[in-house]
Structures are given as structure tokens and as C-alpha cells.
Chain A
Amino acid sequence: MKTTQTPAPVPAESGAPVTKEDTPPGPPPKPKKEGTVLNVFSHGVLVIWAFMVVMPLLWAVMTSFKDDRSIFSSPWSLPDTLHFDNWSRAWTEANMSDYFLNTVLVVGGSLIGTLVLGSMAAYVLARFDFPGNRFIYFLFIGGMSFPIMLALVPLFYVVNNMGLLNTIHGLILVYIAYSLPFTVFFLTAFFRTLPTSIAEAAFVDGASHSRTFFQIMLPMAKPGLISVGIFNFLGQWNQYMLPTVLNTDPDKRVLTQGLVQLAVSQGYKGDWSGLFAGLVMAMLPVLAAYIVFQRQVVQGLTAGALK
């Protein structure tokens, strides 16, 4: 197995020149080529896909600075002048500022609620034996694979009867409820990996169960909370189906809904440049946050699937 320091004996691999005396017997020149060809080929496909990902986004940014006429006549030309008025029009007249505010309120409330309630339930399920523990755990987990739309039909009337339809706090409660399955699943696994000795020591010293949880266990669970927090933040910020069904009041719209409505109404008004400005406005904060917190975001989003 120990071949790492002798580069040459791995013919199929080497794109680097096979050098000097230690050249082994074995198929010489052709494999060398395979390495180079493969390298060129792999860069080729990777670059093409990178282009396909970036071009639509760049196109949107570019279009958001153009006037309506050039959007239609030459979709790929650069803007002649930078029409920043598109952006201010979208922000004020097209109500993007309201949509942002609503989204921040809803996501802020539901993110905190999800983390608090989710970690409480997960802690109890992970650390305490009691009749019904497994049942409750699987009840939560089951929610991950069920089609949400099935529940949304009666849920609409449940929420309506409680007077929570078209309210920010109603939406927050629903977001929390639908974020719990993954959060509980993830955090239960996380709490199980934490050592028990510290919590037991705290308990022996006279700390109550809830004090042990809030002062000892939660700080220890911070990495897990960050991962699942990022996961929920993106999921809730980008949520489209729940607000479409449960939040039909134009004044309460969140960002995704607002943009889609804008697209429908701009079809009549014809303010496409303003719409593109709104679209880019909604994309940029998330993309910027992702680039800054790249490592954490990737960890948070892939954590669940790697378990």
C-alpha cells in the first residue's frame, strides 16, 4: 500500500512526467497521456457548469440596471447607463422594503422559536428514558417525508379558525411547527454525542434539570445549534409554499411571495427593469451571506444528509 513517496509506479495516474531511473516497467507513455487528457477534460466540464450557474445570475444583475426598451431589444447587451432608479423604484414603489421587513420579522421569530423548542424536545428525547419516547421521536421524524401540501388544506382552516390567518405571528407558529421534524432529528443525534458526565456532575451539585439544560447543555451544543440554525434560516427565508397558502394579505407578503406577485402585476404595468431590480435585491443578501459564511453554510446544509 505504501506507494505515496514513489510517484512513478502508478501509471494510470501520472500527468506529471515520469522521470529518471525509478521508472518502473509497465505501460509507459499512454497512461501519462490519460492523466493530461483527463485533467483537461475535467477542467473543461467543470468550467462549463460553472458558467451555466453564473451566467443566469449575472444576466439578472445586468438586466436590473437597464431600461425596459433595451431589456427587450437586446437581452445580452451591457446597460448603456446604470439605471439605479430601477432599484429605488423597486424598493419603494414596488414595496420591496415591506416584503423585506415582513420576511425579517417572520424568519427572526420562527428561527428563535425553532431553535428553542427544537432543542428542548431533542434534549428530552435524547437523554431521558420514559414511556412513549420512541413514539414521540418517530412522530417528529415522520414529518420529514410527508408531503406538506396534504396537511395544508385542513391547516388553512385550522389557522383560520384560530384567527391566525394572514398574521405574522400565525405564520411564525406554522414555520416553527414545520421546521421541528428536521431540527429534532438533527439535535437529538447531536445531544446523544455529548458526554453525560458534566451534566451529571451539575445535577449532583444541586442544579435543576432545566438549569442543567440552559446553562450546561445548550452551550455545549452550540456547534449543532449553529448548523441547524443556518439550515432553518435558509429554509425559512426561502419558504414559498407555506406563505402562498396561509398568508394571502397583500400587506403581509414575504419576499418570495411579493416577488412572484410583482411579476404577475408587472406583466400589466410593464415595469420589467424594476422587477429585475427586485429580484436581484432579494438574491444578493443571501449570496453575500453565503460567500462570507461559506464553510458554515455548507456544513449546515449538508449536515443532515451526511448523518
Chain B
Amino acid sequence: MQHGKYRFIVGFLALPLGLYALFVVWPFIQSIYYSFTDWTGLSPEFKMVGFDNYSRMLDDEIFWKSLQHSLLFALLLPVVTISLALFFAFMINVGGRKRRNGPVVTGVRGSSFYKIVYFFPQVLSIAIVALLFAFAYNPDSGAINSILRGIGLDDVQPLWLGDPDLALWAVMAVLVWSTVGFFVVLFSAGMASIPAEMYEAALLDGAGRATTFFRVTLPLLWDTVQSGWVYMGILALGAESFAVVQIMTTGPGGPDYSTTVMVLYVYQKAFRDGQAAYATTIGVALLVVTLAFAAVVMRLGRRERLEY
């Protein structure tokens, strides 16, 4: 298979690689370079300013707020989402009533129905989900406060997105709502491939539900959980959090910067305030946070791979 091999390779790679280099790789390299300049983005002139942007960033109170919120997103959202999803997936796959002569471990009745419904938010755009909840959170005419009134909690009428103490949590809840279903389906597929003998053996040894989950299910599912963790963290630091915060919160960024996140702050500095160079500096900080997050999860999560 030699003749014409290199011509073929070049011919096939040129277009995809060229496009990728031009629109993805090159801008990444440029943005790191720009973070050392005073480029405004509005005019083509700029000069090198060394680490000025970086020292400015360290003194920027809003940057620290956005970093704090982004870290909270990256740490808390995967924990909550993945725990909920594992719980639901376990219930779906193992929580069923045992039928006589049936397998020892059964899923609940209607398990495929739950999986279909739970997956709904995953196929919707995060922008549409964010809009929908922006209305649902409306203090006067929104669905949520109206339910609270309906069940007699007339005094409990939070401002939700308008309340600096609540806004961030309200936004995070929407991200949980929209991503849990994906992980339920993902983990269900993993759990379904665990051989029933494993459960039988555990039950014969007298293991209860909780023990079975922590000693059998979770270890066998660990690889999936770990990659899901990284995936969720990257989403929570990047595109998803941008959409929800930008669409749902006033400002955007919330009352008193209470919901601003790094990715939104990059966007605002670059395209609203005309400070492109400073925006890329915050972007570099975001890159560092993202890579550090992925490295930590992969490192802490390293275990011996279990074959079955």
C-alpha cells in the first residue's frame, strides 16, 4: 500500500487540518500572545505591556468573584449532578420488585419510560432551557412562585434571580436540571452491562443495597463516572455556564456581580468593554483552571481498572 500514499495523506488531511488550524489552533495561540499586549480590539494598533494585564487581573475584584463562582460551578455541579444521576440510575436498574423465577436484580417497571423522559432536557438547547427558567423564576408571574402560593406558602416568595444571595443557586439548579438525565442514561447503560452474577454473589454474602452500590456498582462503573466528571466540569466552566448566566441573570452577571462567571467576564471585557487584551488574560486564567480541574480529577480518580 505504498504508491501515492503520502499524496493521499496530504490530500485528505489538508482541508480538515487547515480549517482546524485557522479557526481553532491559531486563535488559541494568538490569544495567549495578546494577553501580554494592550490591544483594545477596536483598533489594529497595540504594544507589548509585559505582565501588566496579569497584575491588573490580580487586583480586579470582579475577576476574583467570577473565579470563585466558576470554581464553585466546577466543584459542586459535577458532585450534585453525578450523585443524583447515580442514585436515579441505581433505582432504575436495581430498585425493582423481584418477580418469582426472575433475575435476582431487576429494574423498576417502566424503566425505559423514565430514561426517555429524563433525557428530554439533554436534547434542548441550553439557551432555550435558560429562557424557560428565566420566566419560571419570575417572582410575580413565574411558575415556581405561583406553585408556592398555590400550596399556601404566600410568605415564601423569593426574588430568585433578583436576590443576590439566591441568584447563583437558582442558576446552578437549572444546570443540574438540564444535565442529570444525560448521566442517568449513561450510567444506566453501564449498570446494565454489569453481570447479574456480581449482584447475586454480593447478595449471597449478605450485602444490603447500600453495600452493593458502593462495593459492586460504583467500582465497576468508575471509569464512566470519572470521564463524566471531567465532561461535566468542562461544561460547567465553559459554554453551558455562559449561556445560563448570560441569558438568565440581569446585567448580565446578576445583581451586584453575584452570578458572574469567568467565561462571561471574558465575553464582556472583549465584546462590550473593548478590552480584548485583558479579556484574553482572563481567558488564559480560565484555561489554567480548566486544565487543572481535569488533571486533578484524573489524578485523584486513578484506580486500578476492574475487568469483568
Interface positions of A (Cβ within 8 A of B): 1, 3-5, 7, 9-16, 19, 34-36, 38-39, 41-43, 45-46, 49-50, 52-57, 59-60, 63, 71-76, 117-118, 120-121, 123-124, 128, 130, 136, 139-140, 143-159, 173-174, 176-178, 180-181, 184, 200, 203, 208-210, 213, 234, 237-241, 244-245, 255-257, 259-260, 263, 272, 276, 279, 282-283, 286-287, 289-291, 294, 297-298, 301-302, 305-306
Q: A35-B97, A291-B116 given. 7 additional CB < 8 A pairs?
A: A10-B200, A12-B209, A42-B108, A120-B16, A149-B263, A213-B12, A260-B127
The verdict on B238 contacting chain A, using a C-beta distance below 8 Å, is yes
Q: Which of B22, B31, B147, B263 contacts A177 (CB 8 A)?
A: B22
Residue of B125, B186, B270, B284 with highest tally of chain A CB at under 10 A: B125
Q: Does A39 lie within 8 Å of B150, measured CB to CB?
A: no
Q: Does A42 lie within 8 Å of B126, measured CB to CB?
A: no
Q: Which of A76, A200, A213 contacts B143 (CB 8 A)?
A: A76
Assembly CA distance A148 to B201 (angstroms)? 47
Q: Does B200 lie within 8 Å of A4, measured CB to CB?
A: yes
Q: Does A3 lie within 8 Å of B204, measured CB to CB?
A: yes
Residue of B99, B115, B121, B242 with highest tally of chain A CB at under 10 A: B242
Residue of A19, A53, A140 with highest tally of chain B CB at under 10 A: A53
Interface positions of B (Cβ within 8 A of A): 1, 4-6, 8-9, 11-13, 15-17, 19-20, 22-28, 30-31, 34, 41, 87-88, 91-92, 95-105, 108, 113-128, 131-136, 140-143, 146-147, 150, 177, 180-182, 185-186, 189-190, 196-197, 200-201, 203-204, 206-209, 224, 227-228, 230-231, 234, 237-239, 242-243, 246-247, 263, 266-267, 270-271, 276, 279-280, 283-284, 286-287, 290-291, 294
Q: Does A42 lie within 8 Å of B91, measured CB to CB?
A: yes
Assembly CA distance A200 to B267 (angstroms)? 50
Q: Does A59 lie within 8 Å of B125, measured CB to CB?
A: no
Q: Which of B30, B125, B189, B196 contacts A4 (CB 8 A)?
A: B196
Whether A150 contacts B134 in the complex (CB less than 8 A), given A53-B120, A237-B125, comes out as no
Please name 19 pairs of A and B residues whose Cβ atoms are closer than 8 Å in the assembled complex, sorted by A.
Answer: A7-B100, A7-B102, A35-B97, A43-B95, A53-B121, A74-B146, A124-B12, A143-B20, A144-B234, A147-B237, A147-B263, A149-B266, A151-B27, A153-B276, A208-B4, A240-B242, A263-B247, A290-B123, A302-B186
Q: Does B16 lie within 8 Å of A3, measured CB to CB?
A: no
Whether A139 contacts B25 in the complex (CB less than 8 A), given A10-B104, A146-B290, comes out as yes
* Chain B residues closer than 8 Å to A241, beta-carbon distance: 239, 242-243
Q: Does A146 lie within 8 Å of B100, measured CB to CB?
A: no
Q: Does A200 lie within 8 Å of B1, measured CB to CB?
A: yes
Q: Which of A13, A177, A282 contacts B23 (CB 8 A)?
A: A177
Smallest CB separation, A180 vs chain B (Å):
5
Q: Which of A12, A145, A174, A210 contacts B294 (CB 8 A)?
A: A145
* Chain B residues closer than 8 Å to A150, beta-carbon distance: 28, 31, 266, 280, 283-284, 286-287
Q: Does B23 lie within 8 Å of A209, measured CB to CB?
A: no
* Chain B residues closer than 8 Å to A290, beta-carbon distance: 119-120, 123
Smallest CB separation, B154 vs chain A (Å):
15
Nearest A residue to B109, CB-CB: A43
Whether A256 contacts B125 in the complex (CB less than 8 A), given A53-B118, A151-B28, comes out as yes
* Binding site secondary structure of chain B: helix
Assembly CA distance A302 to B87 (angstroms)? 18
Q: Which of A19, A72, A147, A305 contacts B283 (CB 8 A)?
A: A147
Q: Does B119 lie within 8 Å of A298, measured CB to CB?
A: yes
Nearest B residue to A62, CB-CB: B143
Smallest CB separation, B21 vs chain A (Å):
8
Assembly CA distance A75 to B137 (angstroms)? 12
Whether A1 contacts B197 in the complex (CB less than 8 A), given A120-B12, A150-B287, comes out as yes
Whether A56 contacts B143 in the complex (CB less than 8 A), given A153-B276, A245-B271, comes out as yes
Q: Does A256 lie within 8 Å of B242, measured CB to CB?
A: no
Whether A60 contacts B19 in the complex (CB less than 8 A), given A241-B243, A287-B123, comes out as no
Assembly CA distance A286 to B124 (angstroms)? 7
Assembly CA distance A19 to B98 (angstroms)? 13
* Chain B residues closer than 8 Å to A245, beta-carbon distance: 267, 271
Whether A158 contacts B270 in the complex (CB less than 8 A), given A124-B9, A147-B238, A306-B224, comes out as no
* Chain A residues closer than 8 Å to B201, beta-carbon distance: 1
Q: Which of B13, B95, B180, B266 contacts A39 (CB 8 A)?
A: B95
Q: Does B131 lie within 8 Å of A259, measured CB to CB?
A: yes
Q: Does A306 lie within 8 Å of B12, measured CB to CB?
A: no
Whether A76 contacts B125 in the complex (CB less than 8 A), given A136-B13, A150-B31, A173-B19, comes out as no
Whether A15 contacts B16 in the complex (CB less than 8 A), given A9-B204, A53-B121, A209-B8, comes out as no
The 3 closest A-B CB pairs, nearest first, are A42-B95, A238-B125, A150-B283
Assembly CA distance A173 to B180 (angstroms)? 32
* Chain B residues closer than 8 Å to A11, beta-carbon distance: 203
Smallest CB separation, A181 vs chain B (Å):
8
